[in-house]
Amino acid sequence: MKVSVIGGGTWGSAFALYLGRMKLKTQLWIREADIYQDIIQRKENRTFLPGYTFPPPVSFFHNLKEAVEGSQIVFVAVPSKFCRQIYNQLAPHLSGQQIIVSLTKGLEEESLKRMSQVMEEIFLPKFFPQIAVLSGPSFAKEVAEEQPTAVVIASKDLTLAQRIQKLISSVSFRVYTSQDIIGVELAGALKNVIAIAAGILDSLQLGHNSMAALLTRGLYEITRLGLKLGAKRETFSGLAGIGDLVLTCTGKLSRNRYLGSELGKGKSLTEIVSGMKMVVEGVTTTLSARLLTQREGVEMPICEEVYQVLYNNKNPQQAVKDLMTRRLKEEHYN
């Protein structure tokens, strides 16, 4: 079995590291030439995943065609804003027999499409791709440390999901299956918006009551939009839903939570992002979520306030106050 991982960032590197430890022949594609050269020499990604040496089954590529040649499964771990470009570059080098798995937790900004939808748009005219998505509470660093982690692999084809499940599951990485590809992708993307709000609460030194309210109502907002778009309710109470939401909102390794915390301290979005090496998916997902709520007629007040803080420089304390003083209503409503 030979597999490819497209993307040499933190998550792509950690996932390739894990697959290599599973004795799978893994071909890791790195876009940045300088990082590629450094990894070739040191067998370590000192930029995005320092301190972890890649095992012998992992090989490194800067050429995309060579990186996917001969692979049965291609895992794509690049930020959502680069996915269409990478998919287009991948398409000429893929065969109809290969399985494509998205590891990206985001939405395409202009089209508002999920990554699997973008893949279908690009790949289907050329060949019939076998598509799946992997999501769930999985900080890259902890996967690299082999800490017990549980995720979900979703595909319209359950048999396909089960094949991947059996291949990549281990004592430290447990994989569940799902056919709700819509819910798994939406949950993975939208939780990043709520995580920005969680960081803001943290910087304002608000307590556990506030965080519990945010997590609960945030999950409710995500679920409402997901159901409107065709997802299954139970997905949002699972690993891709509340599992990933809790991790991203409370874990210190969360980039989105960190960004929110810095916003709450009064820093501008430009100032924060310019000092970060890694992409913060929640920044663009907030824009996409707002457009989706307007298109679908779904009310998502927390996402709206995050948007106002991010893009209109709204005072975070005022945003909290406005959420708390909205019109009173029943807890569960359509």
pLDDT tens sequence across 113-123:
999 999 999 99
CB 61 within 8 A of CB 30: yes
Which residues lie below 8 Å from residue 321, measured CB to CB, with a gap of 6+?
none
Query: What is the value of pTM for the model shown?
Result: 0.96
Model pLDDT, residue 125: 77
Check residue 238 and give its pLDDT. Answer: 98
Q: Which amino acid is at 74?
A: V
Distance CA 106, CA 31 (A): 19
215: pLDDT strictly greater than 80: yes
Per the listing, tokens 């824009």 go with 287
Which two structure tokens, joined as six digits, stand for 332?
């569960």
Can you tell me the distance from the alpha carbon of 84 to that of 317, in angstroms, rounded to the nearest whole number?
37
Confidence (pLDDT) at 298? 96
What confidence tens digit (pLDDT) does each residue in 290-325 have? Answer: 999 999 999 999 999 999 999 999 999 999 999 999
- The residue type found at 238 is G
Distances (CA, A) of 327 to 24, 121, 201, 298, 301: 55, 41, 21, 16, 11
| pLDDT at res. 165 | 98
Q: Which token pair is 285? A: 């997902």
On whether the CB atoms of residues 6 and 86 are closer than 8 A, the answer is yes
pLDDT at 278: 82
Measured distance CA(245)–CA(226) in Å, rounded: 14
Mean pLDDT of the chain: 96
- pLDDT, mean of residues 40-56: 97
Q: Two tokens at 223?
A: 């679920």
Give the C-alpha separation, 10 to 145, whole Å.
Answer: 13
Does 2-179 carry CATH code 3.40.50.720? yes
Instruction: Work out whether the CA dihedral 321, 323, 326, 332 comes out positive or negative.
Output: negative
- Residue 334 clears pLDDT 70, i.e. is over it: no
pLDDT at 156 over 90: yes
Instruction: Judge if 2-179 and 189-324 fold alike in CATH terms.
Output: no
Structure tokens at 280: 């913060």
**Is 252 an annotated catalytic residue?**
no
Residue from 5, 6, 3 nearest 89 by CA: 6
What confidence score (pLDDT) does residue 23 get? Answer: 97
In the DSSP assignment, the letter for residue 7 is: -
For residue 328, count other CB atoms closer than 10 A to its CB.
5
pLDDT tens-digit readout, 162-214:
999 999 999 999 999 999 999 999 999 999 999 999 999 999 999 999 999 99
Q: Which of 23, 25, 113, 191 is the catalytic position?
A: 191
Q: Tokens at residue 93, please?
A: 């080098």
* Per-residue pLDDT at 333 exceeds 80: no
**CB of 215 within 8 A of CB of 249?**
yes
When computed from its CA atoms, the radius of gyration of the chain, rounded to whole angstroms, is 20
The whole-angstrom separation of Cα 325 and Cα 168 is 47
The three-point CA angle 111-81-132 to 5° equals 80
At 79, the pLDDT band (50, 70, 90 cuts) reads very high
Specify whether the CB–CB gap between 220 and 187 falls below 8 A.
no
Task: With cut-offs at 50, 70 and 90, classify the pLDDT of residue 95.
Answer: confident
Written out in words, the top-level CATH class of the domain with range 189-324 is: mainly alpha
Average pLDDT over residues 238-250: 98
Share of the chain above pLDDT 70, in %: 99
pLDDT digits (tens, 9 = 90+) for 1-37: 999 999 999 999 999 999 999 999 999 999 999 999 9
Per-residue pLDDT averaged across 243-266, rounded? 95
Average pLDDT over residues 225-247: 98
Residue spans per domain, the chain: 2-179, 189-324
